[in-house]
Structure 1
Amino acid sequence: MLRYIFRRLGISVLVLFGAATLVFVLTINSGDPLADLRETSADNRDELIEARIRTMGLDKPWYERYAEWLRGAVGCVVPGMQCDLGVTNQGQDVLALTESAMSATLRLVIGATVLAIIVGVAVGILSAVRKYSGFDYVITFGAFIFFSLPVFWAAVLLKEYGAIRFNDWIADPRMSVTQMIIIALITGLVLQFALGGDPRRRLLTAGAAFAVVLAALAYFDADNWFRDPSMGLGVVILVSAGAGVLVTSLVTGFSERRVLYAALTTVGAGAVITFALQDVLEDGGYALLAGLFVLTVAVSVAIGAAWGGHMRRQAMLVAWVTGVIMSVVVVMDYAVSHWSAMLELKPRPVLTIGALSPNFEGDFWERFLDTGTQLLLPTVLLTLISVASYSRYTRSSMLEVMEQDYIRTARAKGVSERAVITKHAFRNALIPLTTIVAFDFASLISGAVVTEQVFGWRGMGQMFINGLRAVDPMPVMSFVLVTGAAAVLMNLAADIMYGYLDPRIRR
């Protein structure tokens, strides 16, 4: 396996070197880097031209400039060498620009990838299990629409309805009875499509969902919940316990009580920790949240190991997932409790341009909400693009696996349908999907160019576009280096996942 990994790394490095060389040559020959200075009427035009020539090294042969960049780029990965990605035509350090731009872009890409995987895989599995049903046709139709959406057009729609009109509505968030009924009806129809069953079960599902959603919306509207929301520890415990029960049902079913007890014990321990640290959590801080997340994972795994018995591995997995979900719900609880305070500081919460609100002052949770609202729309856009392909690939892979002989054998032996889908079919269906995820992560970084331009994010895409417009190869090469390295690392991760999902590949 190690020989295989090193061989793949060597080939990837050669491909990356060839791509970087080609991009450098194309960039420096795409125009005149001195064009803007030649057209200026400034008195010191000649001095400015000479300064830019020295800054960009235009008096040197192209291969010498490329060798200097390559030497500095290699220093970023080889210990003992200096990491130097050069300077822009304005003399700015490209390494510092790349670090700032990469931070902004990764916030978009990581969030969009995680959401797309969760939603796309879940929808793909449901679509495969209920193939050729009304739900399957609706999902297929929606996937094709999302897959073919022009990014810039979808971004404009999101800005119109998700930012401008939402900001108008949140100033006085009232809902008419007609709007409540329509939303409740749509929710009921979607749920009965997703859950399926005979006509009686569908009617009960739609009716129950309609009643619950209508009652919730009426309460939210009467209590002004949309401007002053709250959850509380009780809701956190209830949601987390429900998530633990759901995860248990998917992983082992309820026949193994130890696994269920591990999940519920994790929720109880999380509730105790949250109550004990409520004053500390009120102050917030990213370092604090990261430390508490690590603590949550450690406690959850320990609880799973203690309860597990002969099902220790499954109990640890269920407890870990339950703990992670509860930590997310706790963060949401503290964030939404500061929503009204954030609206006082920023009456129009969702901006159409930029990653942060200029001159915004507030405590940690209010700044957290500000960052989240600006991250929301571009993340949703990238998620919609990816979730369409994930759902289709998952459906196709699941349908292929479900026709295999070992699936029919498992059913003939009396294995429950839940175990057939989650334990036998899903794991094997993930093998081709890992390739898609690996390529999609790298392509999202490069594909975020349009999204960042529309939403005014100062990320890798904007740095790349600015470099091309100025015929400045250093920012462009930095973009190629980051996206190329991401592609190499994600493909390596896919190879390792192959070995985990299919032990035959390890040999």
Structure 2
Amino acid sequence: MLSYVLKRLGSSALVLLASTLLVFILVINSGDPLQELRESNAENVEFLIQQRIEYMNLDEPWYTRYWMWLSGVLGCFGGACDFGTNISGQDVGALTQQAAGSSLRLVFLATILAIILGVLTGIVSAIRQYSTFDYVVSFIVFLFFSLPVFWAAVLAKDWMGIRFNNWMADPGVSWSTTVTLAVIGAVAIPAIIGGTVRRRLITAAMTFAFVMIALPYLDWLNFARYPQLGPAAIAVIGALFALGFTALLAGLKNRRVLYSALTVVALGIVAYYATFWLLIDPPGGWLTIAGLFILALALAVLVARLIGGYAKNLATTVSLLTAAVVSGLVLLDHFIRAWPGFLTLKPRPIATIGSVSPNFTGDFWETSLDQLTQLILPTTILMLVSVATYTRYMRASVLDSISQDYIRTARAKGVNERTVIFKHSFRNSMIPVTTMVAFDFAALLGGAIIIEAVFGWRGLGNMFITGLQASDPAPVMAYLLVAGTAAVVFNLIADLLYAVLDPRIRV
């Protein structure tokens, strides 16, 4: 394994080296970085020209300039990185660090959400092949796949940003909107759940009644401006997820798994009160929250091992999923508590320009809400483009795997359909999707260039475009280095995951 990883890293380093050399030559020959100064009428134009020549080493031949850049990058192995200076004399390393933080945060979040939504939708679509749900999902997926990113981004700014902010000034749901949403839910939910005609009619009636009661009640509470969750809601929602995960992965008859998951929910409520005052202003910020999350997962594993008995492996999986959901709900509760104060600082919460709000002052949760609201629009657009790909690949992969001999053998032995899909078919079906994730991450970095331009983000895409327009190689090379390294690392992780998903695969 170690030799394989070293060989892959070595070959990847050669690919990166060749690509950086090619891009460097193309960029320095794409234009004249002194053109605007030569046309300037400034009195100190000669000084400015000489200054730019020094910043960009234009008095050196191209191979010397490339070697100077490469030497600075290789210095990172000794802890002394030097990405050079841009056309204005700014340190490209510092600019890259700031820009990479914005872009990678956006791309990572979009990728994770797209994987979760795409994989789940693809599995359900394959199980319900040629159903109404399958046809609707296929239509929506092809619609998302064919959307021009820049056009979808402009629509999102209008509908999800500007109009939502206008609505937040005086939030309210009219009766016509309530009835429309109730009808949509009454049609969509039965189509997703499926079943007999009688079951669908009952589900539709219950969905319609629930929406017609819940929306006016939430409107009366002014929930949009003063939302509420609390420990009781966390306990109920956590218990429902515990039941759902147990039913999906083990079956409700497996009491040990169910008791493990419900115990995790109970411990989550205890942890809610135990950490409440600590999380009001967490001393270490997100590091403290990450540490508490890891502790919650460790406790979930311990509970599953103690209670799970013969089904301890299944109990561990279900308990971990339940712990993740309950931890997310506790985190959501703290965000909700900070929402009214956040609205007083930022009355128009959904930002349409920039990755941060200038001069924003608030506590930890209000600042985190500001960063999250900045991510909503660009993340949604990138996610929709990727989720279409994951859904189609997962659907095709599941359909291919369930037609294999080992699936027919499992069914002939009397294995229930849940185990057939999630234990036998799922792991093999994830192999093509794992390959897509590796390629899609690099593709999303490319798509983020357009998204950043539309939403005014000062990320890697902005730095790349600015450098390219000015024939300035340093910012372009920094973008290539970050994007290329990410692509190499994700492809290596994908290759290693093949052996995890399918034990027959060895490197």
TM bucket (normalised to shorter chain) is over 0.9
**Shift in Å at residue 378 of structure 1?**
0.5
Q: For 1:342-393, what per-residue CA distance to the aligned partner results, in whole angstroms no more than 9, with x for missing partners?
A: 1112111112101122222222211121111111000001000000000000
Residue 403 of structure 2 corresponds to residue 403 of structure 1 = yes
User: 1:49-68 to 2 correspondence within 5 Å?
Assistant: 49-68=49-68
Letter of the structure 1 residue corresponding to residue 34 of structure 2: L
Q: Which moved more, 1:91-100 or 1:4-13?
A: 4-13
Structure-2 residue corresponding to 1:419: 419
Q: For 1:432-478, what per-residue CA distance to the aligned partner results, in whole angstroms no more than 9, with x for missing partners?
A: 11000111112212220000110011111111111101111011001
Letter of the structure 2 residue corresponding to residue 163 of structure 1: G
Structure-1 residue corresponding to 2:245: 247
Q: For 1:310-352, what per-residue CA distance to the aligned partner results, in whole angstroms no more than 9, with x for missing partners?
A: 3222222221221111111111111112212211121111121
Structure-2 residue corresponding to 1:273: 271
* Aligned-partner SS, 1:421: helix
Letter of the structure 2 residue corresponding to residue 32 of structure 1: D
Question: What is the CA–CA distance in structure 1 between the aligned matches of 2:196 and 2:313, rounded to whole Å?
Answer: 36
Question: Cα–Cα, structure 1 residues 408 and 187, in superposed 2: closer, same or farther, change >3 Å?
Answer: same
**Shift in Å at residue 412 of structure 1?**
1.1
Residue 105 of structure 2 corresponds to residue 104 of structure 1 = no
User: 1:474-485 to 2 correspondence within 5 Å?
Assistant: 474-485=474-485
**Shift in Å at residue 10 of structure 1?**
2.0
> How many positions carry a matched residue from both structures?
505
Q: For 1:279-329, what per-residue CA distance to the aligned partner results, in whole angstroms no more than 9, with x for missing partners?
A: 222224323212211221221222222223232222222212211111111
* Aligned-partner SS, 1:40: coil
Structure-2 residue corresponding to 1:148: 146
User: 1:311-330 to 2 correspondence within 5 Å?
Assistant: 311-330=311-330
RMSD over equivalenced CA pairs, Å = 1.3
Question: What is the CA–CA distance in structure 2 between the aligned matches of 1:154 and 1:116, rounded to whole Å?
Answer: 16
Structure-1 residue corresponding to 2:358: 358
Q: Which moved more, 1:168-177 or 1:339-348?
A: 339-348
**Shift in Å at residue 7 of structure 1?**
2.3
* Aligned-partner SS, 2:505: helix
User: 1:37-48 to 2 correspondence within 5 Å?
Assistant: 37-48=37-48
**Shift in Å at residue 197 of structure 1?**
1.1
User: 1:5-404 to 2 correspondence within 5 Å?
Assistant: 5-76=5-76, 78=77, 80=78, 82-284=80-282, 285-404=285-404
Identity %: 52
Q: For 1:256-284, what per-residue CA distance to the aligned partner results, in whole angstroms no more than 9, with x for missing partners?
A: 32222221111111111111221222224
Q: For 1:97-141, what per-residue CA distance to the aligned partner results, in whole angstroms no more than 9, with x for missing partners?
A: 111111101111111111101111111111100111111111111
Structure-1 residue corresponding to 2:3: 3
Question: What is the CA–CA distance in structure 1 between the aligned matches of 2:2 and 2:204, rounded to whole Å?
Answer: 53
Question: Cα–Cα, structure 1 residues 81 and 280, in superposed 2: closer, same or farther, change >3 Å?
Answer: closer
Q: Which moved more, 1:390-399 or 1:234-243?
A: 234-243
* Aligned-partner SS, 1:75: helix
**Shift in Å at residue 84 of structure 1?**
1.3
* Aligned-partner SS, 1:356: coil
* Aligned-partner SS, 2:308: helix
Q: For 1:69-95, what per-residue CA distance to the aligned partner results, in whole angstroms no more than 9, with x for missing partners?
A: 11222232x3x3522111111111111
Structure-2 residue corresponding to 1:458: 458
Question: What is the CA–CA distance in structure 1 between the aligned matches of 2:339 and 2:500, rounded to whole Å?
Answer: 43
TM-score by length of 1: 0.97
Q: Which moved more, 1:454-463 or 1:437-446?
A: 437-446
TM-score by length of 2: 0.97
Question: What is the CA–CA distance in structure 1 between the aligned matches of 2:280 and 2:209, rounded to whole Å?
Answer: 35
Question: Cα–Cα, structure 1 residues 20 and 371, in superposed 2: closer, same or farther, change >3 Å?
Answer: same
Question: What is the CA–CA distance in structure 2 between the aligned matches of 1:458 and 1:26, rounded to whole Å?
Answer: 24
Letter of the structure 2 residue corresponding to residue 364 of structure 1: F
* Aligned-partner SS, 2:263: helix
Q: Which moved more, 1:99-108 or 1:274-283?
A: 274-283
Question: What is the CA–CA distance in structure 2 between the aligned matches of 1:5 and 1:250, rounded to whole Å?
Answer: 36
Letter of the structure 1 residue corresponding to residue 423 of structure 2: K
**Shift in Å at residue 96 of structure 1?**
1.0
Q: Which moved more, 1:349-358 or 1:391-400?
A: 349-358
Letter of the structure 1 residue corresponding to residue 402 of structure 2: M
Q: Which moved more, 1:146-155 or 1:284-293?
A: 284-293
Letter of the structure 1 residue corresponding to residue 48 of structure 2: L
Question: What is the CA–CA distance in structure 1 between the aligned matches of 2:247 and 2:489, rounded to whole Å?
Answer: 34
Q: Which moved more, 1:184-193 or 1:392-401?
A: 184-193
Question: What is the CA–CA distance in structure 1 between the aligned matches of 2:343 and 2:55, rounded to whole Å?
Answer: 46
Task: Give unmatched runs, 5+ long, in structure 2.
Answer: none
Letter of the structure 1 residue corresponding to residue 344 of structure 2: E
Question: What is the CA–CA distance in structure 2 between the aligned matches of 1:493 and 1:120, rounded to whole Å?
Answer: 20
Question: What is the CA–CA distance in structure 2 between the aligned matches of 1:485 and 1:96, rounded to whole Å?
Answer: 18
Question: What is the CA–CA distance in structure 1 between the aligned matches of 2:484 and 2:117, rounded to whole Å?
Answer: 27
Q: For 1:33-67, what per-residue CA distance to the aligned partner results, in whole angstroms no more than 9, with x for missing partners?
A: 11121122110000110011011001111111111
Task: Give unmatched runs, 5+ long, in structure 1.
Answer: none
Question: What is the CA–CA distance in structure 2 between the aligned matches of 1:20 and 1:255, rounded to whole Å?
Answer: 59
**Shift in Å at residue 15 of structure 1?**
1.4
Question: What is the CA–CA distance in structure 1 between the aligned matches of 2:391 and 2:377, rounded to whole Å?
Answer: 21
Question: What is the CA–CA distance in structure 1 between the aligned matches of 2:94 and 2:299, rounded to whole Å?
Answer: 38
Question: What is the CA–CA distance in structure 2 between the aligned matches of 1:460 and 1:81, rounded to whole Å?
Answer: 22
Q: Which moved more, 1:207-216 or 1:488-497?
A: 207-216
Q: For 1:189-242, what per-residue CA distance to the aligned partner results, in whole angstroms no more than 9, with x for missing partners?
A: 111111111111111111111211221111111111111111111111111221
Question: Cα–Cα, structure 1 residues 250 and 72, in superposed 2: closer, same or farther, change >3 Å?
Answer: farther
Question: What is the CA–CA distance in structure 2 between the aligned matches of 1:106 and 1:366, rounded to whole Å?
Answer: 22
Question: What is the CA–CA distance in structure 2 between the aligned matches of 1:36 and 1:261, rounded to whole Å?
Answer: 72
Question: What is the CA–CA distance in structure 1 between the aligned matches of 2:240 and 2:64, rounded to whole Å?
Answer: 62
Question: What is the CA–CA distance in structure 2 between the aligned matches of 1:310 and 1:25, rounded to whole Å?
Answer: 63
